[in-house]
Amino acid sequence: MVLLRRLSWVLLPLEVVLVLCLVGGVRVPGVVLGVAEALVGSLLLAEGLVYLRLRRRGLSRREAVAELVPGPVLRLLGHELRLLASLGRWVARRPHGTDGADGVFPHARDQAALMYGFAFVCVVETVGLSYLLARRPLVHGIVLVLDVYTVLFVLGLHAASATRPHVLAGGVLRLRQAAHVDLRIPLDRIASVRRETLFSHERADGELNLAVGAQTSVTVELTDPVDAPRLFGAPRPVRVVRVHADDPQALYGALTRARTAPSPAPGPPPRA
């Protein structure tokens, strides 16, 4: 399996290079193309056979795929699939992870205009390139696919933010941003919560800024660090998290109430 992973890191980039050469008009000998396709096909066949063997050993589908595919590749693929799934949830108005929540706090409103603007620019670029490349069908087809996916990617980023709000449930604060950040913070690890609006964020170790529209409005400080993994899985312990919400006062108030222990019920009056 280690050998298959190493071959994947070598053969798949070479395949991408060959595709780029063909798109750029570089003549690649037929023998080279044939050998490359044979190697990639053999790699896929070998991985399929190893996958079946792992399944027979009792591994689940997720575990078997994790044995064959490098972790960063899986995380990147999962991110792209979550973006596409968010588009469907956005259209169907079905938010993710809000069932049974004590509090739901949307945070996508202040970035909507910017994301729609980006999407519009991408659409204009798609139309312009389609006109310019009309006489080169192969290049036109590849660029068109990439441009359309770019539009879907931009819309998916906004859809993920719109369908993945911050959630307070079961003694855990769940903070999210698009499809790449999903941080769970137990309430007993929160040292303090303060309402502050910041438009400038300097990077610092142990701090995570989940800005929306270049601003954050609630700062959460922790007693112990929690891990907020990066996109490719690298650990990132944080003790200060700054987030934004469409209604920051509601988020601040809910956290304050949830962290405040209720007063004990008064007992019966003492007997004289």
pLDDT tens digits for range 153-198: 999 999 999 999 999 998 999 999 999 999 999 999 999 999 999 9
The per-residue pLDDT for 182 is 94
Amino acid at 55: R
pLDDT of residue 220 exceeding 50, the answer is: yes
pLDDT of residue 205 exceeding 50, the answer is: yes
At 61-109, the pLDDT tens digits run: 777 777 777 777 778 888 999 999 999 999 999 999 999 899 999 999 9
User: Tokens for 177?
Assistant: 């941003």
pLDDT of residue 18 exceeding 90, the answer is: no
DSSP strand pairing (237-243 vs 207-210)? parallel
The per-residue pLDDT for 97 is 92
Please state, in angstroms and rounded to a whole number, the distance separating the CA atoms of residues 47 and 77.
17
pLDDT of residue 10 exceeding 70, the answer is: no
Please, which pLDDT band fits residue 119 given cuts at 50, 70 and 90? very high
Neighbours of 260 (CB within 10 A): 8
Please state, in angstroms and rounded to a whole number, the distance separating the CA atoms of residues 25 and 85.
36
Residue 109 DSSP code: G
The per-residue pLDDT for 246 is 95
Say which residue, 37 or 218, is predicted with more confidence.
Answer: 218
CA count, 13 A, side-chain hemisphere, 151:
14
The per-residue pLDDT for 57 is 83
> Taking the model in full, what pTM does it have?
0.78
User: Rounded to whole angstroms, what are the CA distances from 185 to 95, 100, 166, 168, 177?
Assistant: 20, 17, 11, 10, 14
Helix, strand, coil share (%) of the chain residues, nearest 5: 55, 20, 25
The per-residue pLDDT for 203 is 85
Please state, in angstroms and rounded to a whole number, the distance separating the CA atoms of residues 225 and 203.
17
Angle 205-209-212 from CA coordinates, rounded to 5°:
165
8 A C-beta contact, residue 166 and residue 176: yes
Closest to 82 in 3D by CA, of 176, 10, 6 = 176
Say which residue, 65 or 148, is predicted with more confidence.
Answer: 148
8 A C-beta contact, residue 214 and residue 199: yes
Please state, in angstroms and rounded to a whole number, the distance separating the CA atoms of residues 119 and 153.
9
Task: State the chain's mean pLDDT as an integer.
Answer: 85
Say which residue, 150 or 271, is predicted with more confidence.
Answer: 150
Task: Kindly report each contact of residues 174-181 with a partner whose C-beta sits within 8 Å and lies 24 or more positions away, as own/partner.
Answer: 174/97, 175/210, 175/241, 175/243, 177/107, 177/210, 177/212, 178/83, 179/79, 179/82, 179/83, 179/86, 180/79, 180/231, 181/208, 181/210, 181/228
Question: What percentage of the chain exceeds 90 in pLDDT?
Answer: 52
pLDDT of residue 263 exceeding 50, the answer is: no
Average pLDDT in the 141-157 region? Answer: 90
Please state, in angstroms and rounded to a whole number, the distance separating the CA atoms of residues 61 and 136.
42
The per-residue pLDDT for 8 is 67
| Strand ranges inside the chain, DSSP E | 103-105, 166-169, 172-177, 181-186, 190-198, 207-210, 216-227, 237-243
pLDDT of residue 16 exceeding 90, the answer is: no
8 A C-beta contact, residue 186 and residue 172: yes
The per-residue pLDDT for 56 is 83
Average pLDDT in the 104-133 region? Answer: 92
The per-residue pLDDT for 3 is 65
**List of residues 6+ apart from 241 with CB closer than 8 A:** 175, 183, 185, 207, 208, 210, 219, 220, 222, 228
